[in-house]
Structure 1
Amino acid sequence: MFNNLATSNARSLSESVLLKRAIVVFDGGNRTLKWLDIDNRPRIIPAFIKQFEPGFDDPTPDDHSVVISAGDNHFCLGAVARDMRGTPVFQDNKCELAKKLVLAAIEPHPGSSAVVVQRLVIALPNSRNQADIAELKKVEGTHQFTRNGQRITAVVHEVKPIDETQAAYNFAMKRDLYRSKRQLNGVLDLGGGTGIGRLYSVGGSLIREADAILPGTYDLARRISARITPQLTNSPDLSQIMDGIERQDFTLGTSGFQFQKQFEICREQWLSDIRAELRSRWNQWMSEIGEVLVIGGSASLAEPLEEATKGRFKVARHSQIDRFPQLISLLGMTAG
């Protein structure tokens, strides 16, 4: 009897452990949705969402797409949503969309159809915005949905919002990515829709007065569009310009039209405007700033800024982690 009871208790404990995920991290950017999967591998998919009607539209999940059904709500995320002419998430309120977007990141351990998430960490521009936090808190609770054909029951105990750049700053400080910890240091996150520049005190506190909202690659694409439109029959799709920049082939879709020359001109102006805005916003702290770490999916575009400032602004790099500027926030969120 005692052996049977012990075996039963051990089985229940084992099943409980298998159900639990101590932490799930999700970063819903303007260009990409990012999370760490069940094996702690980074997943990055295009930030598009598309509602669909089963039996009429039948999107198929792949490495860059997730297909979700929750009750009468059916939608796909990622590359397939983009290809089906879905909506870029930056055109909606991402916090209001959070209850849908985060389902991409919530998956159980292999062999299980249920998962208990102890803490779901979500990045957002301002963790003190009570309206946004209220939307994110709606993710807490029980969810029943189908993810990529698998029926899942998920319980989310706690949603923890974290300010964008905070996780990257914490990771950088722990890994000694800043040369000095005795000065103010900053993070410049260059994303698709917008960028954000932030400074942190010597003690690690966010100096909110120094927050600077900056133009992202959407603005860069808009500038390029203005220059190339007279040479085209129709106005170009800005997302195709951004895709060409990301691929570094500077080609507009499948048209074969090259825009590298216009890109070089516009990038110089774009970075100049970013630098001017930061110089104005950070003027009172300028003499105290050590380094500013440049992160985000568009960080590599700031290499001329790194050169111009002699490394005071520096693109985040890691010899063993591919796409490190894009992933540093996720890595920092796991420790948050």
Structure 2
Amino acid sequence: MENTNNVSEFILVGLTQDQDLQRVCFGIFLIFYMAILLGNLLITVTIKSSPQLTSPMYFFLSYLSFVDMCYSSVTAPKLLADLLIKNKTISYYGCMAQVFISHFFGCTEIFLLIAMAYDRYFAICKPLHYTTFISKSVCRWMVGLSWLGGFVLSMVQTLLTVHLPFSGPNEIDHYFCDVHPLLKLACTDTYVARVIVIANSGMISLSCFLVLTVSYIVILVTLRTHSSEGCLKALSTCASHIMVVIMFFGPCIFIYMRPSFTFSEDKSVSVFYTIITPMLNPLIYTLRNEEVKNAMRKVWRRKRL
């Protein structure tokens, strides 16, 4: 799509203007990004190479780890590079691509979390029907629909942003291109666009969060009828999922479920769901799961041999 705007590039303000603080942030976020790549890659490789981790839960977890790596890679490398340079610019097309890809992986992760909750619901609440409703083909369909849903929703956001006229100023008060900061720069009335953003990203995040909350409440109520050992195991798994849901959906709802006003906290909140949460996911899922830890040990032993 040809760019007919006067703006050919955008200037990113970044996280901070303090150069000393930028160096500190570079070191911290470099460690975080390396932890994201190594942790999620370790989970993906472990699940794919371990014959004992074949249940649907681990199938979804491997894709969630892959999406986390991709999602953080949309913003983290650019953030790290900008912390070392003075002129933080991004081209118009690079900015639109960042909007599309970030929303693509973000929405895909939302639908994957829904699929994981669906899997846990049938595993705990309807165990006799579990193999019927959660077969391998069903799992593949749910993953495919997650990717398709992420593509459709991100395409809506991107087309909405691309058709906005930008004639200046071109300074984005953020460390990456997102819809709300771009709406502030558009040289037109953005009321309809803001409503669409709330209806798209905001309502999707809120409705999915409510669905997940209700499903886990039902699961926790059902756990009361299980044996103590089975209850503790299921509760440990559900607790991991609930922690991820709260950490991911809380910031998303704060950012997108409101008018396109910007607050000083927006950058910190965005860091949380683009970098912190993908980094903590491997720790949450592995430290509370003995099967994954045992599989990692076996994979490590095989690699050493």
Same fold (TM over 0.5): no
Larger Rg: 1
| Larger helix percent | 2
Give the structure, 1 or 2, with the largest relative contact order (CA under 8 Å, sep 6 or more): 2
Question: Could you say which structure has the higher strand fraction?
Answer: 1
TM-score of the superposition, structure 1-length normalised? 0.20
